[in-house]
Amino acid sequence: MLSIRNPRVLLSILGCLGLSAMSANAAPVPADSVEFPVWNHFFVGALGSKQVEVWLSRVADDLSGVYCYQPCKDETRSQLVLKGRVQGDSAELTEQDRGNKAVTTGIWQIESLKDGVKGNWVSPDGKRRLPLALRKVDPQDDLEARFPYEIRLLADALPGADGDGCPTPPLVSAIRLYKDGVLFQTLETESQGTCSIFTPMLLDANFDGWPDLSIAQFLPAGPNLPHQTWLYDPSLGRFVDAPAMLQSITSPDFDPEHQTISSFWRASCCEHGVSIYRWKDGDVEEVDTQASYFLPVMDGDTRRMCYIAPGYRDGFIEYPGRVEQAADGRLRLHQIDLKYCEVDEPTFLERTYIDIWKPAASGEKPVLLRTEGVAWKSVETSNGPRYCPEVPYFDNGRIRRVILSDNPDLCREESPAQD
């Protein structure tokens, strides 16, 4: 997974807004549309006598970001929040602590955004004034270095026109790429966020070392966030549509180290999963997919159902919460806290079972040893002969099978097909 130490990742989660200036060579804008640049930059430099790291994001006329004093730590990296407006070549930002945004801790009076950030930090009462001088950090990877374009969005309105709160963001109809002020390529799209606008992300979707572009299209009720992606074709010198299979992957997460694309998805309120894809012959193919299931556990005399969902790490899918079998054959719960398991009878019997895994070292893919599943037994009940589920429960280091004949809703008159 990507770390927030990566400036591009941190900027992508800010959901911030930016500036609106256009060059004289800009392409004509349709009468019912507006065009505005968007960018994310990482700066380092001095605020008074202190060294700082600053992340700024601009869309339309809004400028926002976060900063920290070196040496920055994960818990302080985004603690100080900046927000303001651009006015020509200058800007003014309000500085606040994320924990108490009602209090202003400083004012950034930016005199110039050309070739960095120059200006002053001023205390809220105006009595203290510190010089501010930041430089944009040179690209640290080939993606940044190989992307010499200015990104502008074409939309039906400017962001933030509806005021504070949760306004309806504008509908973005195209991403326009400019080089040296001249329109290079237009990528048509249809993207509309919720409360804030979606902006393009720079990534290497096919792991060829060239920068690709992707933008979220809309925010659904679940985590299945659709994206539209374009791949840079170095032979054509242009961006082209990614294959349809890649376009169909929701919430894709690209792992260049392991050359995989993972997707966390939800099929219903009670079913989540992870799928992994790899590139093959110019297209992506699914190589693994795993879904959530219900693990029965005896907590003393109490029957519990633990919801077990898969995760992605180091190029493979694993279940962090699982039952492991030690070398002596004894079973144990791994990363399962019973207080988060529901006191309940099985509801989804076809997804109720116990996978038993061999213990795995950190970074090692776990090995599935066996699965204890539900069986059906013919028993006498208060309603007569019925086939009732025999459910395996993890019980203090062993498997205990329990026939649930006391719940008539779980039993059936005819024998279900046995796996």
The predicted-structure confidence for 110-137, as pLDDT tens digits, reads as follows: 999 988 999 999 999 999 999 999 998 8
Percent share of the chain, pLDDT over 70: 90
Tell me how far apart the alpha carbons of residues 282 and 241 are, in angstroms, rounded to a whole number: 12
Give me the pLDDT at residue 418, please.
Answer: 54
Per-residue model confidence (pLDDT) at position 352: 97
Nearest to 83 by CA among 100, 69, 105, 66: 66
Residue 190, pLDDT score: 96
> What ranges do the domains of the chain cover?
7-137, 143-290, 293-410
The fraction of the chain above a pLDDT of 90, given in percent, is 73
Both tokens assigned to 264: 């966390």
Model pLDDT, residue 345: 87
pLDDT, the chain, mean: 89
Question: How much is the pLDDT for 283?
Answer: 96
355, 349 contact by CB (below 8 A): no
Given pLDDT bands bounded at 50, 70 and 90, which one contains residue 7?
Answer: very low
Per-position DSSP letters for 221-290, written without gaps between them = SSS---EEEEEEETTTTEEEEPPHHHHT-SSEEEETTTTEEEEEEEEETTEEEEEEEEEETTEEEEEEEE
The answer to whether residues 33 and 49 touch, using CB atoms and an 8 Å cutoff, is: no
Among candidates 416, 394, 375, 224, which has minimal Cα distance to 308? Answer: 394
Which fold does the domain 7-137 belong to in CATH?
Answer: Lipocalin (2.40.128)
Query: Which residue from 397, 393, 395, 394 is spatially nearest to 332, judged by alpha carbons?
Result: 397
Say which residue the tokens 């989804």 belong to.
348
Q: Which pLDDT tens digit goes with each residue over 11-53?
A: 443 443 333 333 445 577 777 899 999 998 899 999 999 999 9
- pLDDT score at 63: 94
- Is residue 5 scored above 90 in pLDDT? no
Q: How far apart are CA 10 and CA 77, in angstroms?
A: 9
Q: CA-to-CA distance for 211 and 139, rounded, in angstroms?
A: 13
> What is the pLDDT at residue 9?
40
The reported pLDDT for the residue numbered 265 is 94
Q: Does a cis peptide bond (omega within 30 degrees of 0) precede residue 71? A: yes
Across 15-19, 43-47, 99-103, 342-346, least confident range: 15-19
Q: How does strand 353-358 pair with strand 322-325?
A: parallel
What is the residue-wise DSSP string for 271-296?
EEEEEEEEEETTEEEEEEEEE-EEEE
Phi, psi of 410 (to 5 degrees): -90, -15
Choice among 139-153, 213-227, 261-275 with the minimum mean pLDDT: 139-153
How would residue 382 be classed by pLDDT, with cut points 50, 70 and 90?
Answer: confident
Give every CB contact of residue 260 below 8 A, 6+ residues apart in sequence: 276, 277, 278, 287, 315
Query: Model pTM?
Result: 0.83
pLDDT at residue 72, rounded to an integer: 93
